[in-house]
Homo-oligomer: A and B are copies of this chain.
Amino acid sequence: MNFTILWFVLLFCGLALAQDDGGTCSPDTCNLLRDFGSRSEKLGAMETRLEDCESQILELRNNERTKVIFSAVATAGDKAIGPFDEDTTLIYNKVFTNIGNAYNPSTGIFAAPVAGVYYFSIYYHAGGHHEGKLFLYKNGQLMIMTHDHKSDSDTADNGGNAVFLQLQQGEQVYVQLAANCHVWGSDLHTTFNGFLVTLM
């Protein structure tokens, strides 16, 4: 008789256990474990992708932060600069803007702080009784120039030029006033300007 009862118990408990978790809440533990495994893999994969996003954003922000912009004028208190006996680096000594401090107003020399493509423009005003002539150099190599002739009838001249140059870090760009030439040294006319267009 005990045994009959035990069989009832066995039957009952068996049924009860079979629907155990399922009975308490679904889905059952097996699916839970399977799902949990796949979620863990996905989490790992997403973290890798997130790290990639973070590094790309950092690069974009660094590129954006790299700013090189300058404008300066060669001033000698409203009189001519030159003529000199030889070609002379023109010192644009009054600075309007010098973001990144790549232009040196004591030497007149711009040095590229980073490799990239830069824009440079020069403008001058000069009296007519001497030639006006400016050379823009990249590391001692003549790139562009602007000049006008001596003229007794035409008492003043203007000139300008511009160029985009690809520079390596440290390469220098500067302007020379040709021998026996002059430019007007007000603090408004004879300018040297440049900026970093893009990193390369």
Residues in A lying within 8 Å of B, measured CB to CB: 1-2, 4-6, 8-10, 12-14, 16-17, 20-21, 23-25, 27-30, 32-33, 35-36, 39-40, 42-43, 46-47, 49-50, 52-54, 56-57, 60-61, 63-64, 67, 69-71, 73, 96-97, 99, 117, 119, 121, 123, 125, 135, 142-149, 151, 153-166, 186, 188-189, 191, 193, 195, 197-198, 200
Closest chain-B Cβ to A8's Cβ sits at a distance in Å of 6
Report 23 cross-chain contacts, Cβ distance below 8 Å, ordered by A residue: A21-B29, A29-B32, A35-B36, A35-B40, A36-B39, A43-B46, A53-B54, A56-B61, A67-B198, A69-B197, A73-B144, A97-B117, A99-B117, A121-B121, A121-B162, A144-B189, A145-B188, A146-B189, A148-B156, A151-B154, A160-B161, A163-B191, A195-B197
- Determine which of B39, B121, B186, B191 lies in contact with A40 in the assembled complex, contact meaning CB atoms within 8 Å: B39
Number of copies: 3
- Specify the chain B residue showing the minimal Cβ separation from A158: B159
Closest chain-B Cβ to A23's Cβ sits at a distance in Å of 7
- Specify the chain B residue showing the minimal Cβ separation from A15: B13
Query: A158–B160 contact, CB under 8 A?
Result: yes
Query: B40–A162 contact, CB under 8 A?
Result: no
**CA A155 to CA B159, docked complex, whole Å:** 14
- Specify the chain B residue showing the minimal Cβ separation from A188: B145
Provide the residues of chain B in CB contact with A13, threshold 8 Å.
9, 12-13, 16
- Determine which of B2, B40, B54, B119 lies in contact with A8 in the assembled complex, contact meaning CB atoms within 8 Å: B2
Query: B165–A156 contact, CB under 8 A?
Result: no
Q: Of A16, A39, A123, A149, which is in contact with the most chain B CB atoms at under 10 Å from its CB?
A: A123
**CA A123 to CA B159, docked complex, whole Å:** 9
**CA A165 to CA B96, docked complex, whole Å:** 7
Given known contacts A39-B39, A63-B64, is B96 in contact with A164 (CB within 8 Å)? yes
